[in-house]
Amino acid sequence: MEALDVKIMGREFRIACKPEERAALQQAVNIVETKMSSIRNTGKVVGLDKIAVMAALQIAHESLVGSNPSNPVLGLDIETIERKIEVIEQMVDVSLNATTTKPKNADLFE
């Protein structure tokens, strides 16, 4: 496992990843940064935590459009996606509150 330092919306994050997943993770970071910037630029959503949640929901929705629950586009069922969104929300909360508490289920991304 190695660490990838990324910047999203001006905030730095260190994410654990396998070397072979580095490129895909960087692509994911680019998608999240683009989506969050787009939401921020509309001026309709205020606050980094709300922007992050909206971006996560939009990305998940876009990934599922045209699929059915028995054959999702990402190969994940909706429960798995919801758990991952919950973990992302917790990670954003922890980051915003500058605590050292590791979010519940954070190992889903390690």
DSSP 43: S
Give the model's confidence band at 110: pLDDT under 50 very low, under 70 low, under 90 confident, else very high: low
CA–CA dist 67, 57 (Å, integer)? 16
* CB-CB contact of 56 with 77 (8 Å): no
CA distances to 21, 22, 68 from 53, rounded to whole Å, are: 24, 23, 23
For the chain, list the domains and their CATH numbers. Answer: 2-109 (3.30.160.880)
What percentage of the chain has pLDDT greater than the value 90? 22
pLDDT at residue 87, as a whole number:
80
pLDDT at residue 41, as a whole number:
93
